[in-house]
Structure 1
Amino acid sequence: MTSWGFPDFDDHEGVHLFTDPASGLQAVIAVHSTALGPAAGGARFWHYADSDRAITDALRLSRGMSFKNAMAGLELGGGKGVVLAAKPGDTITTAQLQAFGRAVESLGGRYVTAEDVGMSEERMKVIASQTRYVSGLPVASGAAGGDPGPYTALGIYLGVKAAAQRGLGATDMKGVRVAIQGVGSVGGGLAKLLAKDGAVLTLADVDEGRAQKLAGELGATAVAAEAIMTVEADIFSPNALGAILTEASIAALNAKVIAGGANNQLSVRDDGRRVHERGILYAPDYVINAGGIINVGLEYLGHGDEAEVKARIARIPERLVQVWDESDRTGEPASDVADSIARKLIGR
């Protein structure tokens, strides 16, 4: 349901705005659903052109977390934290991290935070000094938890292989051309796993030096960030920020499959149908990128160890196949099918 002037408001249980004049903190915490458990989702530190865009991002991301956690079979709802940077390139301060921790604590456990863009294990430790409702903390070897990035990358890697088999008929990744947008913790981890399998990689990042360095290490090709979506490839893998699949960019895509870890890849819902009508196989983002939340979610819930985390991540391809089978049966876009399954799971 659209409300309060924000098209992405989806009957959210709560949207909380926080300020702390002493530290300069400005933050949004959006709680989409607690039907399955506390609303879990990472906090990101990012610069937005205006506060409305930050609120919109929190709304979209928190809804995505509800769907992601439900599809991953976790006893968690969906929420998201957004901490606003005053200008591009700012670094979050210790005082701001502490203030954000107090904001999380004030919600009494309805929201559980973890790291996302602009955050880290060390920053989570500072937040944890102010609240118990935090995950993604350093853990002992073999335990669930810690940096979610490598686990997100692992799940995407398994999903990309499943998508290659489904969309290309590929029995392995050798020679499969993959264009990867964003080579940070997740995209870079994915690139390394695919390179070991003999995939032919084209890499791009807003930090061109990072993309060129990784390309040199892996024997890949690096291109400018603005060129990656039109590169001729078998698979386009978005692993940076969201809303990159628009009417124009979908029309210009030169790939048969979209499978990557960026959240909220579709700019608007209709873009899922545009992808479908072009005959491009789409791996819904919150299904394929669930590895990180599986890791930190099990850490917070105290369920299992690293072996259990990896066993659950290994089921990501099964959930993708379920979505694709239903899409084939009904003729509906994979994105709409996944949304429908997730909404039923959370009773929406």
Structure 2
Amino acid sequence: MLAFDLRSLVTQFDSDATEHEQVVLFQDPASDLKGFVAVHSTALGPALGGVRFHSYADEGQALADVLRLSRGMSYKNALAGLDFGGGKAVLIGDPERIKTEELLLAYGRFVASLEGRYVTACDVGTTPEDMEVIASTCSWTATRPMTSGGSGDPSVFTARSVLQGMKAAAVHRWGTPALQGRTVGIAGVGKVGRLLVEHLFEEGARVVVTDVRAEAVRRIAEKFPETTVVEDTKTLIRLEGLDVYAPCALGGALSDDVVPLLTAEVVCGAANNQLAHPGVERRLKERGILYLPDYVVNAGGVIQAAGGLRGATHRQTVAKVDRIFDTTLAILERAEAENILPGTAADRIAEQRIARAAHARTAAGSGQSIRPGRFA
């Protein structure tokens, strides 16, 4: 297996890449394994984040994605009150075509070689069952199946945390957490999106969905016949009467082209890296659209993963996920009070916690492996 440090290379793809502690390319030609791990920060603890398996156009795109995602995990874990830093892995290729047990075992051996600096978990293109395979060669694995003593599929808690974010936005925008009668448009009804649909119907909301995969839409329509289905995302974002837009597919959903067309008053979704570039959030605010930073509201999955590693009970995990409501509302109130963007308010809170932890760790000294920490 080949693995080497890319610190001198990553700046070609991301001007902020030098803030990462470690970026590594790994490959195992025998199993078709190729990908990157990025450890953004271990100030709060070992870097915890999922492994995304995706058909990237090229290595540059994969590298750019892992850099953005790992940085987001540092901020997400800090804002969620977790004693874990931020990291991410990406595997290059079509998981439907090349994902094999041999490949997963090779990936596990690579993560194990990092000796606890990075803890892997499932993400887009990977499953708890994949984590079980990986765990046979790597101790630093989260979100294994519940039947094997793991914490299970994090999608359940990600959907729950996005719902809590929506309720906080509703309080801030409309004065009540109730979503009854509100129209929510969901772009992407995969693992998280379809669970969010269920939550929203339980809340009495009206739901409109779209997805590039016809089968995913068909499953939603069969289970929830009252769902409105539209042809594509462009149709969805222009829909009259839309209260909340929830991007729940891959990143970059909010671009300069999307902002002028968006009719929703609130954007709150599960997708990572929703902003095509940082200036998009300013443009949303100028149009009177309330944007909730994705790394704040979609933290339910990593909270569950961290809980599994810390031995948390189901009740403790649910309680911590539901506190995303309070965190989100506090961020929105700070943004309003200081006349700054919600993303800026969230960043400042996360950066302050990471900086304090880094200072304390430098003073005390600390190893990189998983160590006892608080959860509740």
Q: TM-score scaled by structure 1?
A: 0.95
Shift of 1:91: 4.2
From 301, 309, 313, the equivalent of 1:292 is 301
In the other structure, the counterpart of 2:251 is 242
Pair 1:213-2:222 in alignment = no
Give distance in 2, aligned partners of 1:278 and 1:319: 24
Runs of 4+, deviation exceeding 4 Å: none
Amino acid of the structure 2 residue aligned with 1:20: D
In the other structure, the counterpart of 1:108 is 115
Amino acid of the structure 2 residue aligned with 1:187: G
Pair 1:316-2:315 in alignment = no
Aligned residue pairs, count: 345
Identical aligned residues as a percent: 42
Q: How big is each residue's C-alpha offset from its partner over 1:254-295, in whole Å with a ceiling of 9 and x where there is no partner?
A: 100001111111111111211122211111111101111001
Amino acid of the structure 2 residue aligned with 1:325: E
Equivalent residues of 1:104, 1:111 under 8 A apart: yes
Amino acid of the structure 1 residue aligned with 2:61: R
Give distance in 1, aligned partners of 2:232 and 2:265: 20
Pair 1:265-2:271 in alignment = no
Structure 1: any 5+ residue segments left out of the alignment?
Answer: none
- SS of match in other structure, 1:30: strand
Equivalent residues of 2:142, 2:305 under 8 A apart: yes
Give distance in 1, aligned partners of 2:209 and 2:171: 22
In the other structure, the counterpart of 2:291 is 282
Pair 1:21-2:32 in alignment = no
Equivalent residues of 1:10, 1:32 under 8 A apart: no
Give distance in 2, aligned partners of 1:144 and 1:281: 36
Shift of 1:160: 1.2
Give distance in 1, aligned partners of 2:51 and 2:29: 20
Pair 1:197-2:206 in alignment = no
Amino acid of the structure 2 residue aligned with 1:130: T
Shift of 1:34: 0.1
Equivalent residues of 1:203, 1:215 under 8 A apart: no
Equivalent residues of 1:144, 1:305 under 8 A apart: no
- SS of match in other structure, 1:113: strand
From 40, 43, 49, the equivalent of 1:32 is 40
Equivalent residues of 2:267, 2:291 under 8 A apart: yes
Shift of 1:24: 1.1
Alpha-carbon distance change, 29 to 88 in structure 1, aligned in 2, over 3 angstroms? closer
Q: TM-score scaled by structure 2?
A: 0.88
Pairs within 5 Å for 1:1-348: 4-7=11-14, 8-9=16-17, 11-85=19-93, 87=94, 89-139=96-146, 145-218=151-224, 219-226=226-233, 227-232=235-240, 233-302=242-311, 304-347=312-355
Q: How big is each residue's C-alpha offset from its partner over 1:176-229, in whole Å with a ceiling of 9 and x where there is no partner?
A: 000001111111101001112221110011112321331342211111233222
Equivalent residues of 2:95, 2:125 under 8 A apart: no
Equivalent residues of 2:47, 2:117 under 8 A apart: yes
Shift of 1:129: 0.8
- SS of match in other structure, 2:90: strand
Give distance in 2, aligned partners of 1:260 and 1:32: 23
Q: CA RMSD in A?
A: 1.9
Shift of 1:140: 5.5
Amino acid of the structure 2 residue aligned with 1:255: A
Give distance in 2, aligned partners of 1:231 and 1:144: 41
Q: How big is each residue's C-alpha offset from its partner over 1:315-340, in whole Å with a ceiling of 9 and x where there is no partner?
A: 00111111101110111111111112
Equivalent residues of 1:32, 1:62 under 8 A apart: yes
Amino acid of the structure 1 residue aligned with 2:248: N
Shift of 1:301: 2.6
- SS of match in other structure, 2:272: coil
Q: How big is each residue's C-alpha offset from its partner over 1:100-146, in whole Å with a ceiling of 9 and x where there is no partner?
A: 101100111000000000101110011111100000012369x8711
Amino acid of the structure 2 residue aligned with 1:16: V
Structure 2: any 5+ residue segments left out of the alignment?
Answer: 1-8, 359-376
Amino acid of the structure 1 residue aligned with 2:212: V
Equivalent residues of 2:53, 2:95 under 8 A apart: no
- SS of match in other structure, 1:114: strand
Equivalent residues of 1:276, 1:334 under 8 A apart: no
Give distance in 2, aligned partners of 1:274 and 1:240: 22
Give distance in 2, aligned partners of 1:193 and 1:211: 17
Equivalent residues of 1:266, 1:272 under 8 A apart: yes
Give distance in 2, aligned partners of 1:224 and 1:104: 41
Moved more, 73-82 or 88-97: 88-97
Shift of 1:53: 0.5
